[in-house]
Structure 1
Amino acid sequence: MTRGGQGLARVAVVVRAGAAPLWWLGVSATGTGLLVPGLTGRRIGVLAGAALFIVAAAAVACLRRGRYRALARAAVRAGRHDVLQDRAVTARNWRRGHRWWLLLAFLAALGSAFAAPAAGGLLLAGCGVGLWLKAAWIGRLERVGEHLLWVRVDWLGRTAGHPAGKTVRAYRTTGIAAGDAAPGGSRRRTPALV
Structure 2
Amino acid sequence: MTRGGQGLARVAVVVRAGAAPLWWLGVAAAGIGVFVPGLTGRRIGVLGGAALFIVAAALVAWARRGRYRALARSAARAGRHDVLQDRAVTARNWRRAHRWWLLLAFLAALGSAFAAPAAAGLLLAGCGAGLWLKAAWIGRLERDDDVLLWVRVDWLRAGAGRPAGRAVRAYRSTGIAAGDAAPGGTRRRLTTAA
- TM-score past 0.5 threshold: yes
1:135 partner amino acid: A
Which residue number in structure 2 is paired with residue 183 of structure 1?
Answer: 183
CA distance in 2, matches of 1:149, 1:26: 29
Post-superposition CA distance 1:102-134 (Å, at most 9, x none): 000000100110000000000000000000000
1:192 partner amino acid: T
1:45 partner amino acid: G
Post-superposition CA distance 1:13-66 (Å, at most 9, x none): 000000000000000000100110000000000000000000000000000000
Assess if the C-alpha contact under 8 Å between 1:146 and 1:176 holds in 2: yes
Which residue number in structure 2 is paired with residue 116 of structure 1?
Answer: 116
Segment of structure 1 superposing worse, 178-187 or 158-167: 158-167
Identity %: 84
1:122-137 correspondence to structure 2 within 5 Å: 122-137=122-137
Which residue number in structure 2 is paired with residue 101 of structure 1?
Answer: 101
Which residue number in structure 2 is paired with residue 60 of structure 1?
Answer: 60
Which residue number in structure 1 is paired with residue 4 of structure 2?
Answer: 4
How far did residue 158 of structure 1 move? 6.2
CA distance in 1, matches of 2:150, 2:52: 32
CA distance in 1, matches of 2:158, 2:171: 18
How far did residue 192 of structure 1 move? 3.5
RMSD of aligned alpha carbons:
1.0
**After TM superposition, which residue ranges in structure 1, 4 or more long, deviate above 3 angstroms?**
none
DSSP-derived class of the 1:150 partner: strand
CA distance in 1, matches of 2:9, 2:58: 25
Aligned pairs, number: 194
1:79 partner amino acid: G
**Which blocks of at least 5 consecutive residues in structure 1 are unaligned?**
none
DSSP-derived class of the 1:132 partner: helix
CA distance in 2, matches of 1:70, 1:152: 16
CA distance in 2, matches of 1:192, 1:52: 44
Assess if the C-alpha contact under 8 Å between 1:60 and 1:134 holds in 2: yes
Assess if the C-alpha contact under 8 Å between 1:96 and 1:159 holds in 2: no
DSSP-derived class of the 2:173 partner: strand
